[in-house]
């Protein structure tokens, strides 16, 4: 999920992000901004949500503070209404498929009746954390990639006071109310992320605590001072 300037495949992402930034900075309607974000997730499709995350990461690198804040405001609206942009991942029990040799019971539903793994709709932070912490249908996400992506996403969502307040509360509510979506390791990681975020810690500290890695001094300095290779649609 690289967004490096020297990546030869980054140009289309920067062009798509530039169009999104332009729309965000020229629109005064947060409802429209949220609708555009949700339309983008639909265009990427169930298996393309990492592409949407990559687009968010590219916008997060933008110097346009207004666009970053409006994007985070739109996500905050979705969080408040329970309608935030989200992507699909298989749940942690997805490897235990039903067969005609195994009795069918309610605990196996929904999703795996015909050997289809159970699936969950997850917001960007939860999606990234489940992808890193659990076995899913996606290729393995490294700790370095998780840490870097989480750092940028938290910084992006902190651009809006509403998002900064609501996002950890939303994840906290999911931890209390959703059964079967998270493994013990994922729950612990999300709980640490929530606690440090609610404390108002810098994005670098939040990301390092969630990833289980020490905060690097240059990342700390950056956060205090300023803070897949799928094709875009």
Q: How would residue 46 be classed by pLDDT, with cut points 50, 70 and 90?
A: confident
The fraction of the chain above a pLDDT of 70, given in percent, is 74
| Least confident segment among 7-11, 46-50, 177-181 | 7-11
Cross-strand partners of 216: none
Q: Is residue 70 part of a domain?
A: yes
Q: Is residue 104 part of a domain?
A: no
Q: Is residue 19 part of a domain?
A: yes
| List of residues 6+ apart from 226 with CB closer than 8 A | none
pLDDT value of position 8: 53
Which residue pairs, CB below 8 angstroms and at least 24 apart, start in 21-28? 21/59, 21/62, 21/64, 21/67, 22/67, 24/66, 24/67, 24/70, 24/71, 24/74, 25/64, 25/66, 25/67, 25/70, 27/70
pLDDT value of position 4: 53
Q: Is residue 2 part of a domain?
A: no
Q: Is residue 184 part of a domain?
A: yes
d(C-alpha 226, C-alpha 211), whole Å: 21
Q: Is residue 233 part of a domain?
A: no
Phi-psi region of 214 (alpha: psi -120 to 50; beta: other; left: phi over 0): beta
Q: Is residue 4 part of a domain?
A: no
Higher-confidence residue of 109 and 143: namely: 143
| 63 pLDDT higher than 70 | yes
pLDDT in tens, 154-168: 999 999 999 999 999
pLDDT value of position 103: 39
Q: Is the Cβ–Cβ distance between 136 and 130 less than 8 Å?
A: yes
Higher-confidence residue of 118 and 152: namely: 152
pLDDT value of position 196: 97
pLDDT value of position 2: 52
Mean pLDDT of the chain: 80
Average pLDDT rounded to a whole number, residues 77-101: 70
Q: Domain limits at 165? A: 11-97+113-225
Q: Is residue 231 part of a domain?
A: no
| Least confident segment among 46-50, 80-84, 135-139 | 135-139
| List of residues 6+ apart from 6 with CB closer than 8 A | none
Domain count across the chain? 1
pLDDT in tens, 165-217: 999 999 999 999 877 778 899 999 999 999 999 999 999 999 999 998 544 43
pLDDT value of position 9: 60
Q: Quick check: pTM over 0.85? A: no
pLDDT value of position 162: 97
């Amino acid at each position: 999920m690289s967004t490096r300037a020297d990546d030869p495949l980054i140009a289309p992402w920067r062009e798509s992000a530039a169009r999104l930034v332009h729309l965000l900075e020229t629109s005064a309607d947060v409802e429209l901004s949220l609708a555009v974000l949700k339309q983008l997730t639909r265009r990427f499709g169930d298996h393309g949500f990492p592409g949407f995350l990559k687009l968010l990461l590219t916008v997060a690198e933008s110097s346009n503070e207004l666009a970053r804040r409006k994007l985070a405001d739109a996500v905050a609206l979705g969080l408040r209404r329970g309608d935030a942009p989200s992507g699909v991942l298989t749940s942690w029990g997805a490897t235990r498929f039903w067969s005609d040799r195994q009795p069918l019971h309610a605990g196996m539903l929904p999703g795996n009746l015909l050997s289809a793994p159970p699936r969950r709709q997850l917001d960007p932070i939860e999606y990234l954390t489940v992808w890193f912490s659990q076995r899913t249908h996606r290729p393995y996400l490294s700790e370095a990639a998780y840490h870097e992506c989480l750092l940028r996403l938290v910084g992006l969502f902190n651009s809006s006071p509403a998002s900064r307040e609501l996002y950890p509360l939303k994840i906290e509510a999911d931890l209390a109310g959703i059964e079967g979506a998270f493994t013990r390791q994922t729950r612990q990681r999300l709980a640490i992320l929530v606690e440090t975020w609610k404390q108002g810690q810098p994005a670098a500290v939040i990301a390092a605590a969630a990833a289980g890695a020490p905060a690097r001094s240059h990342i700390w300095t950056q956060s205090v001072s300023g803070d897949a290779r799928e094709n875009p649609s």
